[in-house]
Structure 1
Amino acid sequence: MAFESSLVFGMYSQIKHSLQGSAQGAGPQPQVIIPSAAFSGSIISFILCPSELVKCRMQIQGTDSVVPMSRRYGNPLDCVLTTVKNDGVRGIFRGGFTTLLRECIGNAVFFSVYEYVRYHMHLQLKSASTDHRNLIDVGVGIASGGLGGIAFWLAVLPLDVAKTIIQMTPDKNATRNPFQILSSIYRRAGLKGCYIGLGPTSVRAFPANAAAIVTWEFAIKLLGIKRD
């Protein structure tokens, strides 16, 4: 997560800066934010896909009814090696297309919400006392990051559900088309089925992304990097 976060925030900042050019300070620009965020998401999907496959496969080993003792992995490396042995290198990238979609769309939504909330909150609070500027910046970071995180998962949780099913299904011949999987879920359980796990995901998303944004903005300030 540390590597993934540093990569996505770093790439987003650099691409956004390059695309903005001399138009900095003109407020959020969707034609800059969306491609910057989507490209960053596409790159980190190649890291997230194998790491999440290993994480999910290790997590479902909690009960014998799910995974018999004879088929359990000893550790994450054993999971990787066993997957490569059984399915080839492509096996650890199972669900890669769905992860790519999730990260491109999700990050475009996240950074759009973050940038707009941040911009308009600072616009409303620009006349506030400079004595409380640091406190205001933290509050804006919490609100913009937390709301961005919630928006991310509201937009792409169905894709995450499909990704998990693709990665965990033992049948090698099962479909890897996320839209076919979601269509099947929708027929059986409706929209609620496509958003299974929304509660705990939302509970995690707000504080995790709020903390990430506050830390990121504090680091930018600490390093003396200029922001629009």
Structure 2
Amino acid sequence: MGDESSSSSSSSSSSAYKDYIAGLVAGVSTVIIGHPFDTVKVKLQKHNTEAHGIKYRNALHCTARILKNEGVRGLYRGATSSFFGMAFESSILFGLYSQTKQALQGDKNRSGPQLQVIIPSAAFGGAIISFILCPSELVKCRMQVQGTDSLVLKHTRYSSPLDCALKTIKDEGVTGLFRGGVTTILRESIGNAVFFSTYEYIRHYMQLQRNPALSGSNDQPNALIDVGVGIVSGGVAGVAFWSAVLPLDVAKTIIQTVPDTSSSRNPLLTLQSIYKTTGFRGCYAGLGPTLVRAFPANAAAIVTWELAAKVLGIKRE
């Protein structure tokens, strides 16, 4: 009995890398679909929360200006750092979440999702990826806000993500890359706890609804319904994530892109300042493109993650 348990544990640890590979593939699909929406969101957060300067009427107005002045390429500004950052970050997030959840659950019989397992697993994964996500997003955001509508001086403009990173280190030191780190940790820990809780419960409910009707059916409709479940559970979970933490994301964008390096890095103080300047609406700047992006981008991430897991032979309850 002991030998069998040891063998099972060894087999599980030896295939753990598959969880990280599946997560990496999910991250790439997220960037391809979601980056243009993210660019619009960041520009709205940067410009529409300032007392002076350029203002966009809405997300469509912002998108039209980007396309007119910069073309489609403008919508993918900063995507290079986002591809590397998101792929690496997604790999670690999904991998850590899967491994931590498995460790906390052990071999206990489970009748459904358990919040006492999901929340700490997701929050832990979110906290860890923040150390990768923070510098990646800082470079991405600074590249995104310096488009043709930017008021940034010519000599401080960045020619590439690498140039942005090097200038940041030169001007602010290595710690400058981690400006907004506390806010990123808060956003990712809270947001991913909401995301995975929503995903697991919707997925569980939809699986319960479909299983009785699918007994004895062939694999093709099963596969199509699996994709449908992934789209709905991933999409709704993505909307829940951003609905819960968008104010923190707005604060992070301001903290990472404000020219004054001595300005506060406290997200609560930043949100208080935004509220005084633009009201409650400013704290949710970029809500439209964020939610429009959240559903397809996260649906793609979950469908890709589950498909990659199936191809790699990862068994899920």
Q: Please report the TM-score for the alignment, with normalisation by the length of structure 1.
A: 0.96
Match of 2:274 among 164, 169, 185: 185
Match of 2:121 among 26, 36, 43: 36
Which residue number corresponds to residue 291 of structure 2?
A: 202
Per the TM alignment, residue 64 of structure 1 is displaced from its structure 2 partner at its CA by 6.5
Instruction: State the distance in 1 between where 2:119 and 2:146 align.
Output: 38
The C-alpha deviation readout for 1:119-148, integer Å capped at 9, x for no partner, is 011111111223321111111100000000
Instruction: State the distance in 2 between where 1:169 and 1:215 align.
Output: 36
Q: Cα distance 1:81–1:42, how it changes in 2: closer, same or farther (>3 A)?
A: same
Q: CA RMSD in A?
A: 1.3
Q: Which amino acid aligns with 2:246?
A: L
Which residue number corresponds to residue 303 of structure 2?
A: 214
Which residue number corresponds to residue 134 of structure 1?
A: 223
Per the TM alignment, residue 189 of structure 1 is displaced from its structure 2 partner at its CA by 3.1
Q: Percent identity?
A: 68
Is 132-141 or 18-27 further displaced after alignment? 18-27
Q: Counterpart of 1:23 in 2: which secondary structure?
A: coil
Work out whether 1:154 is the aligned partner of 2:243: yes
Match of 1:92 among 177, 180, 189: 177
* Alignment gaps of 5+ in structure 1: none
Q: Cα distance 1:167–1:152, how it changes in 2: closer, same or farther (>3 A)?
A: same
* Alignment gaps of 5+ in structure 2: 1-85
Which residue number corresponds to residue 22 of structure 1?
A: 107
Q: Please report the TM-score for the alignment, with normalisation by the length of structure 2.
A: 0.70
The structure whose RCO (Cα within 8 Å, separation 6+) is larger is: 2
The C-alpha deviation readout for 1:146-196, integer Å capped at 9, x for no partner, is 000000000000000000000111112211110111122223333221111
Match of 2:200 among 78, 93, 115: 115
Which residue number corresponds to residue 49 of structure 1?
A: 134
Instruction: State the distance in 2 between where 1:23 and 1:192 align.
Output: 46
Per the TM alignment, residue 68 of structure 1 is displaced from its structure 2 partner at its CA by 2.0
1:54–1:79 CA contact under 8 A, matched in 2: yes
Larger radius of gyration: 2
Work out whether 1:61 is the aligned partner of 2:146: yes
Instruction: State the distance in 2 between where 1:225 and 1:4 align.
Output: 20
The C-alpha deviation readout for 1:91-138, integer Å capped at 9, x for no partner, is 010000000100000100000000000001111111122332111111
Q: Which runs of 4+ in 1 moved over 6 A?
A: none
Per the TM alignment, residue 65 of structure 1 is displaced from its structure 2 partner at its CA by 4.8
Q: Cα distance 1:193–1:24, how it changes in 2: closer, same or farther (>3 A)?
A: farther
Is 181-190 or 117-126 further displaced after alignment? 181-190
Q: Counterpart of 1:26 in 2: which secondary structure?
A: coil
Q: Which amino acid aligns with 2:273?
A: S
